[in-house]
A and B are shown apart, each in its own frame.
Chain A
Amino acid sequence: MTLLSVAGMTKRFGGLAAVDSVSFDVEEGTVTGLIGPNGAGKSTLFSMVAGAQRPTSGRLSFNGKDVTGWQPHQAAAAGVGRTFQLMRVFGSMTVLENLTTAAHLRHRSKSAARSFAEEICAFADLGEMAHRPAATLTGATKKRLELARALATSPTLLLLDEVLSGLTPTETAAAIEMIERVHARGITIVLVEHVMQVVMSLCPRLVVLDFGKLIFDGSPADAVKDQAVLDAYLGA
């Protein structure tokens, strides 16, 4: 079943099109990689899907319903979870409180939210730092917290924005392992990533953007042979 459908999405800033008429569908339960050179429009596209920005034109469908121009909290309520490129944890709260706040989306009472948050905490291997203020965490742990926090909203679609950048090989391996576990739970994942080997191995499907336009949609094996993709990365 098609979970997410992006049709002709365009975002213009002044005269410049950051995202230019991009269209693709995402099937439920899949892992899709969204890649492209710097400035290709990946994060802007993510923003629009998550409701943080309005598209200049185009349509967005989620679960069969037209949700074009929706607001971030509506997206979250519908089941879209996201992480941010520049980490945005709730600094004054502890790890557990961060998760509890997100869990409140589906759990009214504090105790229900809290126990769900504890589950997520354990799932994300954050148990040891459950009571540490989020602001004191290392960068890699903050990224893990952001991912966990998005999970705490019980999403059906998870948008991961460069969760692997700046991590050591060990941290990268742990992150990949967690992403695979998330996928095993049936959550659809779209991830923006620059770390190529990871994307190639994690994603059976790649969508490639360049200068805001979609230039390729297919398997990694085909992507490396595609002329347009090669031109984009090797700089024509």
Chain B
Amino acid sequence: MTAVEAPPVTSPEVPAKRVPWGRYAGVAAVAVLLIGYGVVAETSFSQTIGVLALTMAIAATGWNILGGYAGQISFGHAVFFGTGMYGTTLLVTDGWSPWLTMVPIAVLAALFGVLIGLPTFRLRGHYFSIATLAIGMMVMSILPNVRPLGATDGLSVPFLDEGFWNLTFSLRDKTEYYYTALGLFAVATVVTWLFLRGKVGSYLEAIRDDEFAAAAVGVPVWRYKMYAVAMSAGLTSVAGSFHVMFVTFVDPASSSDLSLSTAIALIAVVGGAGSMWGPLLGAWLVIALQEYTRTYLSTTGRTIDLMMFGALIILVVVVDPRGLVHLIGRGYRRFVRRS
């Protein structure tokens, strides 16, 4: 501060920082579980669940940066996922290695994010969300008419020899896909963590809590929203790039469906927006639910999984709007306090 020096103040009431052993243990436990799942999952069915869950976890982690941390709820993220799917397909068809396509396409998606943010970031709350919804739907309505992207039929990923570099593995045993997805998820998580620690994370959360107050303490709100959407779009796009190599096919319905956008958002929210683990938890729960009901409840499966998904969302949000991660945390703390 300026001018007159005040006498030194002691702050006995502010507790010293402790090493967060609990958090490290938690991360290790999650890592063990995820790695163990790949070993234990032997049926194609369980392996597929694992791959899809991790893919959606990556997409939801990306969404979370904009929605959970910066507080801008997007219902149009399928646009970025679709960019990853279509972009990687086109480049791979041109001879690129799938891995090399991820970053450039992510940058493209980030650019789209910024373009979308330009007119929409001046909107707040509901208005912003509905605008993203509208943009997502608009893209979906235009896609079937775009010839170079395969119109309604979509595009197929060309047959590549199996191998890590081609991101193509045996489909009989999907374990290699699973561990690749896991590695990608780990990278995505670390990148997100690095992005959000320190100033950036604090500023984004300030924007979420109160934009005006944030600006008053020096946060360049507009600029930081752009950072958030760029990062968010890029990560979601990477999930899309991976996904298309797994399913080897992309068309308008599968890549930019409204339900995909809402699924990404809802997975993050149900799991716990604003928390690093929320997207992972939400993704596993939702994908497992979806695949189980789809497979084991035969022809009516599709509708029962919708009903259950809907009921799950309602239940979780009513009980604890901050999502499952928070709910579990509350239960754990209550348990610890009692013992």
Q: With an 8 A cutoff between CB atoms, is B212 at the interface?
A: yes
Question: Contact flags (1/0) for A177-192 with B, using CB distance below 8 Å?
Answer: 0000100111100000
Q: How far is the CB of B76 from chain A (nearest CB, A)?
A: 24
Q: Mark A65-97, 1 if CB is under 8 A from B, else 0.
A: 000000111011100011010001111110011
Q: Is A21 an interface residue (CB 8 A)?
A: no
B2 within 8 A of A: yes
Contact-size category for B: 20 to 34
A27: CB under 8 A from chain B?
no
The yes or no answer to A61 lying at the interface (CB within 8 A) is no
What mask results when residues 205 to 236 of chain B are scored 1 for a CB within 8 Å of chain A, else 0? 11011101111111111000000000000000
For B13, list chain A residues within 8 Å (CB).
122, 127-128, 130
The verdict on A173 contacting chain B, using a C-beta distance below 8 Å, is no
Which stretch, A35-43, A148-156, A227-235, touches the partner chain B?
A: A148-156
Compute how far the CA of A130 lies from the CA of B11 in the bound complex, rounded to whole angstroms: 11
Of A50, A110, A122, which one neighbours B14 at CB under 8 angstroms? A122
Stretch touching chain B among A100-108, A164-172, A218-226: A100-108
Q: A93-B205, A110-B199 are in contact. Are A52 and B4 (CB under 8 A)?
A: no
Q: Name the B residues within 8 Å of A77 (CB-CB).
A: 218
- Name which of A7-15, A113-121, A206-214 contacts chain B: A113-121
Residues of A close to B202: CB separation below 8 A: 97, 100-101, 104
Residue of A nearest to B224 (CB): A73
Kindly report which residue of chain B lies nearest to residue A91, judged by CB atoms: B209
Please give, as numbers and ranges, the residues of chain A lying within 8 Å of B221 by CB-CB distance: 73
Q: How far is the CA of A108 from the CA of B202 in the complex (A)?
A: 12
Residues of A contacting B203 in the complex (Cβ-Cβ under 8 angstroms) = 101, 104
Q: Is the beta-carbon distance between B216 and A186 smaller than 8 angstroms?
A: no
Q: How far is the CB of A27 from chain B (nearest CB, A)?
A: 14
Chain B residues with Cβ below 8 Å from A76 are 215-218
Q: What is the interface size of chain A, counting residues whose CB is below 8 A from a CB of the partner?
A: 50
Q: How far is the CA of A154 from the CA of B209 in the complex (A)?
A: 22
Q: Is the CB of A108 within 8 A of B199?
A: yes
Type the 1/0 row for B1-32, where 1 means its CB is closer than 8 Å to any CB of A: 11110100111111100000000000000000
Does A138 belong to the interface (CB within 8 Å)? no
Q: A110-B198, A121-B11, A121-B14 are in contact. Are A105 and B217 (CB under 8 A)?
A: yes
**Interface residues in A41-60 (C-beta closer than 8 Å to B):** 50-52
Return chain A residues, CB-CB under 8 Å to B220: 73
CB pair A102 B3 closer than 8 Å: no
Contact A73 B215 (CB under 8 A): yes
The reply to whether B3 and A29 contact each other, CB–CB distance below 8 Å, is: yes
Confirm or deny: A109 has a beta carbon within 8 angstroms of a beta carbon on chain B: yes
| B323 on the A face (CB < 8 A) | no
Complex Cα distance, B213 from A88, in Å, reads 6
The answer on a CB contact under 8 Å between A122 and B11 is: yes
5 closest cross-chain pairs (CB), A and B: A186-B3, A127-B13, A76-B218, A105-B218, A72-B215
Q: A52-B212, A91-B209, A97-B202 are in contact. List 8 more A-B contacts (CB 8 A).
A: A51-B215, A76-B218, A92-B274, A118-B11, A122-B9, A122-B10, A153-B217, A185-B2
- Using CB atoms and an 8 Å cutoff, list the residues of chain A in contact with chain B: 29, 50-52, 71-73, 75-77, 81-82, 84, 88-93, 96-97, 100-102, 104-105, 108-110, 113, 118-119, 121-123, 127-128, 130-131, 149-150, 152-154, 156, 181, 184-187
27 CB < 8 A contacts A-B: A52-B212, A52-B215, A71-B215, A73-B220, A76-B216, A84-B213, A88-B213, A90-B209, A90-B210, A91-B209, A92-B209, A92-B274, A93-B205, A93-B209, A101-B202, A101-B203, A102-B217, A102-B218, A104-B218, A108-B199, A119-B9, A122-B14, A127-B12, A149-B213, A153-B218, A185-B1, A185-B3
